[in-house]
Amino acid sequence: MRIVVQEAPFDFGAEAAGFAAGRHDMGAVVTFTGIVRDRPGGSLQAMEIEHYPGMTQKALEKIAAEAVERWSLGDALVIHRYGRLEPGAQIMMVATAAPHRKDAFEAAEYLMDYLKSRAPFWKKEYCAETGTWVAAKEEDEAALTRW
């Protein structure tokens, strides 16, 4: 299990290729990459993501450890960026490896849902030089009920 919180961009291709490489006991690898989405009308200039390093790392490790245990994953990867990101930039990556595809898919969805709602990141969107904090969304909270 590897958890990375970084400001720099990551190479999705390299990360995906290296994830679970050489593991012949895994029958499925699922990957997901979150991207900064522009607002309707193309008004988003940037998103600023803030975090508290020690707290964030521990929270992500806990969420990933729960997924590894619940779905008996062979491996899990979470990369999450912080700092100023423009539309189209990669925010995060999740990868899961399991003997069977159902576990890999479910664990990846679990990780994505919990990262969206429970990871201690604070996001601010900038449009026309005005910054607005991103509030929690009901649909993101509701997504957690299935777990």
- pLDDT interval class at 129 (50, 70, 90): confident
Residue type, 38: D
Give the mean pLDDT of 85-113: 97
Contact 32, 93 (CB under 8 A): yes
Rounded to whole angstroms, how far apart are CA atoms 98 and 103?
6
Q: What is the pLDDT of residue 66?
A: 97
Contact between 81 and 12 under an 8 Å Cβ cutoff? The reply is no
Cα atoms found within 13 Å of the Cα of residue 20, Cβ hemisphere only: 22
Q: Which of 69, 77, 56 lies closest to 3 in space, CA to CA?
A: 77
Q: What is the mean pLDDT of residues 120-146?
A: 89
Comparing 88 with 143, the larger pLDDT belongs to 88
Supply the pLDDT for residue 48.
97
Contact in structure between 11 and 31 (CB atoms under 8 Å): no
For residues 144 and 121, the model is more confident at 121
Higher pLDDT among residues 40 and 69, named by residue: 69
Q: What is the dihedral of CA 19, 80, 91, 17, to 10 degrees?
A: -10
What is the model's pTM? 0.93
Confidence class for position 135, pLDDT limits 50, 70, 90: confident
* Whole-number average pLDDT of the chain: 94
- The answer, yes or no, to whether residue 35 has pLDDT greater than 90, is yes
